[in-house]
Amino acid sequence: MKERTQFNYAQRWKTRKEIFSRSSKEKRMRAFVFLGGLLLVAFVLSPWLWQIKLQYSLNQIESNIKDYQDVAGICAEISQLQTQASNMNNFRQMLETKKKDPRVIMNNIRKLLPAGATIMSFSLQADNSVQINITVAGPVDLAKLWVSFRDSGMFEGFDMCAVSLADQVQTLNLSLKLK
């Protein structure tokens, strides 16, 4: 039996088109399934990918912070040195204000003495207190000494407790606190 071959090109083209359209539908379905699977995998992996991105950003920020930690350490050291310097300056100024020159104090006290009084001994203590032994000729000089020391403003609370008003030479042992 011989097979008969048809030369109907239109029908062949139609059958081939149906075959290709079925395969293209299958290809489209496969592509949609593949894209859907890809989207599903991306959706499932998105928190993980987001975590990786956040970790990368965190590492960059920490590296930037490490660069500034040296600067922060230097700034802290500078502020510490500035406070030390200000403390030293305050201490130096306190010493300069507390430090009194004995010669100047002695000359100022001599200016306050009446004409007949002499200084027998003089000592300046570290707490700015002065020990003075003064010899006064009489009660008039004693009154002048008391008024001049009281009104001088050099001493804190000048007060003489017990003195003799007899007309004789007196030796006073005074302990005074400088202002």
Q: Tens digit of pLDDT for each residue in 16-27? A: 777 777 777 788
Q: Is the confidence at residue 154, as pLDDT, over 70? A: yes
Give the pLDDT band (50/70/90) at residue 179: confident
Return the pLDDT at 82: 94
The CA-based dihedral angle spanning residues 95, 101, 106, 112, taken in that order and rounded to the nearest 10 degrees: -60
- Helix, coil or strand: residue 127: coil
Q: Which long-range contacts (CB under 8 A, 24 or more apart) does 90-98 make?
A: 98/128
**Domain stops at, among 99, 126, 144:** 99
Q: Which domain holds residue 77?
A: 9-99
Residue 141's domain is classified under what CATH number? 3.30.1360
Q: Is the confidence at residue 55, as pLDDT, over 80? A: yes
Asked whether residue 155 is domain-assigned, the answer is yes
pTM attached to this predicted model: 0.43
Identify whether residues 14 and 95 lie together within a single domain.
yes
Q: Is the confidence at residue 81, as pLDDT, over 60? A: yes
Return the pLDDT at 103: 82
